[in-house]
Amino acid sequence: PATPANNWICTDVTVFFKELSKLLSIPFYKIKSDSHRATKQFKKFGLINTQNYCALFEELGVSPDVPTDWLLQVFYKLHLSTKIESSPDIYFMPIVLPNRSTEIPQHCCVIENLCFTYNYTTTDWSEDLLDIPRGIFCKLAVQLVNSGRYKPCPKESDKSTIKILGNGLELYLIER
């Protein structure tokens, strides 16, 4: 059956981008009071629980006109979040994880570079440019988890080092 959450239409894209930016700017929030518990938890682990997302969205000032169920589904469809298989009511958004220095365990014996770059030519400059896209490791982590063969470790991850377990492997996606 159709519900308002999955039939909601956004005719002004700036409304969506405004609400999305509130969540993506979480790593830069300075939370000083205990009254923002949901925001503090989300900032620390990148997890949204379907029982507490209303509190999180209220704390962040997300417009009550935007259906929160719809917004969570959009994040999932845009590969900004993934559902944690063992707890389907929990979403993981690695892109909001804080910047901290996660230690790579000594038992990790194979470290290989996974480089993503692209070249582009512009008419404004007479040279080709090499660029490194940002956020690609967060998307890769989300896609690996969405495959169903990997499980994220949010409490052992940060924005530049995302730990994932699966297929007998312990993977660390490191952006340097």
Task: Write down the pLDDT at residue 2.
Answer: 41
Task: Write down the pLDDT at residue 3.
Answer: 47
Answer for the pair 39, 31: CB distance below 8 angstroms, yes or no.
yes
More confident residue, 63 or 50: 63
Nearest to 46 by CA among 164, 134, 168, 169: 164
Q: Provide Rg for the chain, Cα atoms.
A: 18
Q: Please state the pTM of the whole predicted model.
A: 0.68
* Residue 112 pLDDT exceeds 80: no
